[in-house]
Structure 1
């Protein structure tokens, strides 16, 4: 994917308007649904449906966990890498601004999970995830270090510019 196409794709991701109302689903609601899925309890589909309802209202944590559920097939949910990637995009972008999802999006680009492998895209999102502390900070730093050794100076400079533009236009 060319840098121009990556910028365009990133801009389209960010163009979704932030919902006017606060996202449904308290942190406790999200934790309860995730715990049910992880434990493969009786109503896994009900818990996933609850997360999907919260996600439709722009809840970044619900989107993040749906992405993880679909990526990893948690609770017996069928794996769906493309759906997982879409959840990470929405959670990381303007809709959710979820920092952990920014790392998950970087990881998806790095491994080509649900999308084409794109090392520049991985660098951009890993760098963006480092702007705010999160539980994934160490992994994001490791990924940025690894990618720094893999990308050319020109690619790194372009990625830094794009990351700054995405941050300033959509995430600030």
Structure 2
């Protein structure tokens, strides 16, 4: 069975992995999101996390143990959508696993030249773009390594990261 492209990228990464998220909604039919909308909250308790969380936690821990710095930046509309509130509630687990996470309100990103879709970039050398349907389902992924594409992504991510608020300080509105 083929390895998931993000796992593949993380497995090859030697120094850095960055993830830029720019949508206000993802996988709206996700059962865990439905559970959250019905009132389930994580309250910083790893025992309350979704069943799939363990494999992601293990992957992040293994990746960061190799010295790879993992940074995730989320550009979000405020007030936050329910889906982004759900992600915010779950983000304590990303941080505990070893990811650095920051949040940037969309109004503070208006003058940044951004790629047209969410992405991962590994070692400032390869970019994995993820394409979504209008409702937030993944429809395709594409690897790109052209220097101009990598530089656009690198510059955009670094600008977002510089302006964004660390997770522990971000208070959703």
- TM-score, scaled to structure 1: 0.26
Q: Which one has a larger percent strand, Structure 1 or Structure 2?
A: 2
- Looking at both structures, which has the greater relative contact order when contacts are Cα pairs under 8 Å and sequence separation is at least 6? 2
- TM-score, scaled to structure 2: 0.26
